[in-house]
Amino acid sequence: MKARKLEGFPLTRTKLEALLLRVMPLSLQQLQALPGMPSDRASVALPAFLVLRETMEKLKLSFVRLTTHGLRYGVWLDRIASGPVKRIIR
C-alpha cells in the first residue's frame, strides 16, 4: 500500500492482531521483502506494532487512523488544531 493510501486508513485492533500474527514469525529479510515495507523501517516494524497494540489496549481504542507523519507532527497538530483534522495537506 502506498503511503498516500495509508493516510487516514482505519486500523482496528482485530486487524492489528492479524497483522501481528503474520509478521511475528518473519525474519528481517522477510519483513524487508513485504510489499510497501521500507527496508530501513523493517527492523522497527514489529516493535512499533506491539507498542501500538498495547497503546490501543490501554486507551481502550477500537481503532486508530494511520498517518505517514511522525509522532512529533501528531503532537504538534494536537496542540494547534481546534477540532478533528479531516485532511492533511503536504
Split at pLDDT 50, 70, 90, the class of 29 is: very high
* pLDDT 10s digits, 43-71: 999 999 999 999 999 999 999 888 777 77
**DSSP track, 43-79:** HHHHHHHHHHHHHHHHTT-SEEE--SS-HHHHHHHHH
Residue 42 CB neighbour total at 10 angstroms: 19
| Cα–Cα distance measured from residue 19 to residue 45, given in angstroms and rounded to the nearest whole number | 11
**pLDDT for the residue numbered 19:** 93
pTM for the full predicted model: 0.73
Whether residue 82 is predicted with pLDDT greater than 90 in this model: the reply is no
Q: What's the pLDDT at 81?
A: 74
Instruction: Kindly list the structural domains of the chain, giving each domain's residue range(s) and its CATH number in brackets, ordered by start.
Output: 3-80 (3.30.420.150)
